[in-house]
Structure 1
Amino acid sequence: MAPIRSPKTDRSDPEHPIECQEAMEDAFLDMVNRGVRAGWDVEQVISAVIELADTQMVLRQEDARLERTLRRMRKDPTLAEMGIIAFFGIVGIALAATFILSIFM
């Protein structure tokens, strides 16, 4: 497996993303070649890598959004209480509806 170089530039440097791409390129090509050697078409391998990367990005964004929400709830317990009340309110309505329907059926 191809080694990946450590960054030499700071995150704020405009060249940092390009340096990352260059550092990852050999490992990426190695992974694509391994997929092709395993019997996959090169287009399928690259498409799979794109989809996997996209999914990881979406998951990271969702994790960050959830973390922000939890941080706000820790700062303001009223928000957490409202979330719990809303959840149990919905569950309560569903249970009451089920009970009422069972009486009339």
Structure 2
Amino acid sequence: MRGAYLLVLLVALGGVAAVDARWRLVLAADRRAGLVAVGAGVVLFLAWDAVALASGFYSRGGADALLGVDVLPRLPVEEVVFVTFLAYLAAVVHAVASRLGAGRDEP
């Protein structure tokens, strides 16, 4: 099913956003700082991808689950959504760990 991977990524991203909103962890706590943190992660991961693509370490896959739309040559839209999910998830996990480390019972 074309686009299935993108759909799964968007659902997962929505789940992270729901956790964030429920416990006011990252974007819900401080939108500007959260966007800077997540944005920095996205830039870092996309730069990493660009270096790997230029070095020939990997290329765009041909799975039927991909939508088939490239943002840049050999960089599918799913990769951009995936690195956004990964950066947001990392920020949320860091916020949870920080709260739990500070002795709070809830994230």
Higher relative contact order (CA 8 A, sep 6+): 2
Larger radius of gyration: 1
Scaled by the length of structure 2, the TM-score of the pair is 0.38
More strand by share: 2
TM-score normalised by structure 1 residue count: 0.39
Q: More helix per residue: 1 or 2?
A: 1
